[in-house]
Chains A and B, each alone.
Chain A
Amino acid sequence: MKKNYILEDLDCANCAAKIEEGIRHIEGVIECSVSFVTEKMMVEIEEGKEKEVEKQIKKVVKKIEPDTILREV
């Protein structure tokens, strides 16, 4: 299942890469792509694991860029 997010106030491109890398390593994530330019993130999650993965996603974003606001679209 593909989910799309907006990363508001994503200010640092290096962090975008780190967030992408961090989310890819979450168990249950098939693919993740963060676009620094459009402030968007696409995450493909294994069926049935959405809830758990979503929690982890929030954690990763908070850890790498505490000022960024994560919103689902």
Chain B
Amino acid sequence: MKKRLRKIIMATIIFLVAVLIEKIQFFNLNEMTISRIQLVLYIVSYAIVGFEVVKKAVVNMFHGEFFDENFLMSIATIGAFAIKEFPEAVAVMLFYQIGEYFQSYAVKKSRKSIASLMDIRPDYANVKTHGKIEKKSPEEVKIGDIIIVKPGEKVPLDGVVIEGKSMLDTAALTGESVPREITVNDNILSGCINLNGVLEIKVEKEFGESTVSKILDLVENATNKKAKTENFITKFSKYYTPIVVFLALMIACISPIVTKTNILDWVYRALTFLVVSCPCALVISVPLSFFSGIGAASKKGILVKGSNYLELLAKTEMVVFDKTGTLTEGVFDVQKIVSEKGIEQNELLELAAYCESYSNHPISLSIQKAYGKEIDKNRITHSEEISGKGTISKIEDKEVACGNIKLMEELNLENVKQVEEIGTVIYVAINKQYVGYILISDRIKEDSKKAIQDLKKTGIKKTIMLTGDNQEVAKKVNEALQLDMVYSQLLPVDKVNKVEELLKHKNEEAKLAFVGDGINDAPVLARADIGIAMGAMGSDAAIEAADIVIMTDEPSKIATAMKISRKTLKIVYQNISFALIVKIGVLILSAFGITSMWAAVFADVGVTVLAVLNSFRALK
């Protein structure tokens, strides 16, 4: 780089001297001598800055490569020398090199800034062996090893915390800026940053299988799957250069014969054509924009597996959601406690929690979670589970029965009212006296409503929910969320069929995205135009199955992803149209001899640099 810059500066100085020598007549030299000195200076300047290019052109020519930029630039500039346009010849080469310099600087810079965005690769692991701490590369650490992570360090491998307590910065994985608390027995994922305490971790996965490697692998290989636009540009550039070169030949050879005008004039125009014949601006800026977009998404905890998916996402008009685990939490929670006269809600919950404390059924776990205090098992003298109905336990002097309506019927209780609400109802009786019920159901995620609203704002035409639950539940959820359409009582197979049906009845150009939790909807994720898996933190299955992976379980991230994709595509189209308009404009103008080689150099390199700078915007 430095050597290149030195050459450019030297050549520029000599070039300027050559131009100015004519204006400042210091030695009273006659015109002949001045133009001879000028010629020598021009040639020296050209040799300094253009030697590499000409050399490459010659080498490539022997390889049969006639349409590469070195060759075209060499022909254009040597041609300009031949028709005695000396300053032009040198200037074109000089500006070409300056442009190349800026371009490779900009590309390097953007490569670096994208790389730093994804800089989650841990460099080392502190392995504890026989009381000593040894620094090892993460690849060398084995399952079962104990590693120490100090404050400020990256967690290098997945594992379980065996000692210590700390706050974790998970932003690199999830885009979540609020630190997460972590303590003994918690699972810890590689890629997080330990903020304050020292943690001792037992390694559970080798580096290659750890979260951080999986994510890095995914993001780094994202450019392997190219977007349609990218492939189009590659194809376009394959034809563009030969066509422009052919047109240049026509102009140089045929026009002077047809119009019977000065041949040199037409040769100059043809050489101008050659200067604009490289499609570089397009070929560089389009993949760069897509990659910047992928980088911007991954910063927000959204992993996109390929440029093509980013492009498809921008064209999505229909978003289909799975309900459980996607729009709702997928975990059962106590929604409501209704107690009869003579008993407090808290007491009812406490007794129910004690009564069910020996069961590990999801329902009883949710009751214990709602109770939230430790269960003193000494207070329970007897507990019996009645399969399919509930539990009867003796707690101190009280006999408590918790279960469904069948249990209440079996106990022949009076005053039990059957509750008509959505979810699972647990009836509670104390000493054969009905005292109330607890309503348990799945909870809608906090940001689900915002997610649907945001999607509509970004221009999604239709939002649809699929669920295996009954109509009542589906209806109730949709009252809160306001999706456009709901299909309920679907078996997993029906979900695939439904998506197929939706795919059949939509416009070819409008894409359909399916959002699921990636656990049991892999076939649907695969069938949709784009499969989006949510809450993938630590779930390999979800990462495998989907095209776009959202690390957290916030559905509102889908709208964020959509915005990023639209912005990226907008930048891509801006770059394409800007480059094409300028280039075609210069071609037309130079065909009529209105413009000069100077403008052509701008159309070539200037546009490339501007397009590269523009693609930077996709990063933000």
**Which residues of A does B touch, CB under 8 Å?**
11-18, 20-21, 33, 35-40, 42, 63-64, 66
Contact across chains for B63 and A63 when beta carbons are under 8 A apart: yes
Minimum Cβ distance to chain A for residue B223 (Å): 4
Is residue B8 within 8 Å, beta carbon to beta carbon, of the partner chain? no
A17-B234, A38-B220, A42-B221 given; A66·B59 CB < 8 A:
yes
Whether the Cβ atoms of B280 and A13 lie closer than 8 Å is yes
Q: What sequence of 0s and 1s flags, for each residue 61-101 of chain B, a beta carbon within 8 Å of any chain A beta carbon?
A: 00101001100000000000000000000000000000000
Contact among A14, A17, A35 for B223, CB-based, below 8 A:
A35
Contact for B226 among A15, A33, A39, A66, CB less than 8 A: A33
Closest CB pairs A-B (n = 10)? A35-B223, A13-B284, A13-B283, A37-B291, A33-B224, A17-B234, A63-B63, A14-B283, A42-B224, A36-B287
Shortest C-beta distance, B232 to chain A (Å), equals 12
A–B pairs, 22, beta carbons within 8 Å: A11-B104, A11-B107, A12-B280, A13-B280, A13-B283, A13-B284, A14-B68, A14-B69, A14-B280, A16-B283, A17-B234, A20-B234, A21-B234, A36-B283, A36-B287, A37-B223, A38-B111, A40-B221, A42-B221, A64-B63, A66-B56, A66-B59
Cα of A40 to Cα of B287 in the assembled complex, Å: 13
A66 CB contacts on chain B under 8 angstroms: 56, 59
Residues from chain B with Cβ under 8 Å of A33 in the complex: 223-226
Distance to closest chain B CB from A28 (angstroms): 19
Name the residue among A13, A21, A35, A63 with the largest chain B CB count within 10 angstroms.
Answer: A13
**B287 in contact with A35 (CB, 8 Å):** yes
Q: A14-B279, A17-B237 are in contact. Are A64 and B65 (CB under 8 A)?
A: yes
A34 to chain B, nearest CB (A): 9
**Nearest B residue to A4 by beta-carbon distance?**
B221
Collect the chain B residues with CB atoms within 8 Å of residue A21's CB: 234, 238
Chain B residues near A13 (CB, 8 Å)? 280, 283-284, 287
B111 neighbours in A (Cβ, 8 Å)? 37-39
**Could you tell me the distance between the alpha carbons of A42 and B217 in the complex, rounded to whole angstroms?**
13
Residues of A within 8 A of B221 (CB): 40, 42
- Bitwise, B47-61 to A at CB < 8 A (1) or not (0) is 000000000100110
A sample of 16 more A-B contacts (CB under 8 A), given A14-B279, A17-B283, A37-B223, is A12-B280, A13-B284, A14-B280, A18-B68, A21-B238, A35-B287, A36-B287, A37-B114, A38-B111, A38-B220, A38-B291, A40-B220, A63-B63, A64-B68, A66-B56, A66-B59
The closest CB in chain A to the CB of B295 belongs to: A37
- Rounded to whole angstroms, the CA-CA distance of A14 and B100 in the bound complex is 13
**CB closest chain-A residue, reference B55:** A66
CA distance A21 to B68 in the complex (A): 14
Closest to B608 in A: A13
What is the CA–CA distance of A33 and B308 in the complex, to the nearest angstrom? 13
Residues of B within 8 A of A35 (CB): 223-224, 287, 291
- Residues of A contacting B237 with CB < 8 Å? 14, 17
Q: Which residues in B have their C-beta under 8 angstroms from that of A14?
A: 68-69, 237, 278-280, 283
Cα-based distance from A13 to B233 in the complex (angstroms) = 11
The CA of A1 and the CA of B224, in the complex, are separated in Å by: 16
Complex CA gap A37/B284 in Å reads 8
Interface presence of B288 (CB below 8 A): yes
Assembly CA distance A14 to B282 (angstroms): 9
Residues of A within 8 A of B287 (CB): 13, 35-37
Q: Which of B263-306 contact A (CB under 8 A)?
A: 278-280, 283-284, 287-288, 291
**In chain A, what residue has the closest Cβ to B284?**
A13
Q: Scan residues 229-243 of chain B and give those whose CB is less than 8 A from a CB of chain A.
A: 234, 237-238
Give Cα A63 to B60, complex, Å.
7
* B68 touches which of A11, A15, A40, A42 (Cβ 8 Å): A15
In the complex, what distance in Å separates the CA atom of A39 from the CA atom of B288? 12
Instruction: Find chain A residues with CB under 8 A from B220 CB.
Output: 38, 40
In the complex, how many angstroms separate the beta carbon of A72 from the nearest chain B beta carbon? 16
Residues of chain A lying within 8 A (CB to CB) of residue B238: 17, 21
B157-169 near A? 1/0 per residue, CB < 8 Å: 0000000000000
Contacting residues, chain B, for A11 (C-beta < 8 A): 104, 107
- Quick check: B226 and A12 within 8 Å, CB to CB? no
Within 8 A of A (CB), among B105-163: 107, 110-111, 114
User: Which of chain A's residues have a CB closer than 8 A to the CB of B224?
Assistant: 33, 35, 42
- Min CB gap B315→A, angstroms: 22
Contacts of B104 in A (CB 8 A): 11
User: Assuming A33-B224, A42-B224, is B59 touching A12 (CB within 8 A)?
Assistant: no
